[in-house]
């Protein structure tokens, strides 16, 4: 490449790297933070904060003795009567009552129950929502984002002018080192 051609290439390479990087800064943070959150969903619920409150009942109940009045009386004791939605029996020994933002479960044999309250985790709920591709147009936008990331990665290889830190000297070793981890994963995990 001629000197002028090389200068022009480096100029546009820097422009692309810089401006696409600026433009996708927010989305990169959103995808990375939600990615970490969703990676660990076995250890925590990244979307909801779920709390449990145990209680006992004194009445002896079975399917035939439970009605809406009994359910409402139970909910009233726990200040949840205004949130009542409906109830059903998921199996012969369990009563489940749906309330707004949660549910109540009662083991009719042991007379033990718990109230499950669910609230959305602020910030995480929203960014995880975006991570899950909420709509077709968002899917296309996230595809463009991925193309942007590829462009940033490739243009990043040619940011440095010829020196001991450029791609052909230092860079190539770092690239190879970075590829070892996914290769090892393929060998070990597959």
Asked if 46 and 177 touch (Cβ cutoff 8 Å), the reply is no
Asked if 96 and 74 touch (Cβ cutoff 8 Å), the reply is no
How near is the Cβ of 96 to another protein at its closest, in Å? 8
Of the candidate residues 13, 61, 70, 98, the single one contacting another protein (CB under 8 A): 98
- Total number of residues that touch another protein (CB under 8 A): 36
Q: How many CB atoms lie within 10 A of CB 17?
A: 19
Nearer to another protein, 41 or 162 (CB): 41
113 contacts another protein (rule: CB under 8 A): no
112 contacts another protein (rule: CB under 8 A): no
Stretch 58-97 residues interacting with another protein (CB under 8 A): 68, 85-92
Euclidean distance between CA atoms 73 and 65, whole angstroms: 13
Stretch 143-182 residues interacting with another protein (CB under 8 A): 144, 148
**CA dist 123 → 33, 90, 110, 145 (Å):** 10, 33, 39, 21
Euclidean distance between CA atoms 97 and 74, whole angstroms: 10
11 contacts another protein (rule: CB under 8 A): no
Stretch that binds another protein, among 107-115, 138-146, 161-169, 179-187 (CB under 8 A): 138-146
């Amino acid at each position: 490449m001629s000197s002028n051609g090389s200068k022009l290439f480096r100029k546009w390479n820097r422009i692309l790297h810089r401006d696409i990087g600026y433009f996708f800064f927010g989305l990169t943070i959103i995808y990375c933070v939600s990615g970490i959150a969703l990676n660990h969903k076995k250890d925590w619920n990244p979307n909801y904060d779920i709390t449990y409150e145990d209680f006992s009942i004194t009445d002896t109940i079975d399917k035939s003795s439970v009605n809406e009045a009994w359910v409402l009386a139970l909910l009233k004791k726990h200040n949840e009567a205004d949130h009542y939605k409906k109830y059903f029996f998921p199996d012969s020994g369990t009563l489940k009552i749906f309330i707004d933002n949660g549910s109540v479960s009662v083991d009719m044999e042991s007379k033990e129950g718990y109230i499950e309250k669910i609230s959305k985790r602020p910030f995480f709920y929203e960014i995880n929502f975006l991570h899950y591709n909420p709509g077709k147009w968002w899917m296309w936008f996230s595809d463009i984002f991925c193309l942007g990331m590829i462009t940033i990665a490739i243009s990043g290889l040619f940011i440095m002018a010829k020196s001991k830190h450029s791609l052909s000297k230092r860079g190539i070793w770092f690239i190879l080192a970075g590829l070892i981890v996914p290769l090892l994963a393929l060998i070990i995990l597959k």
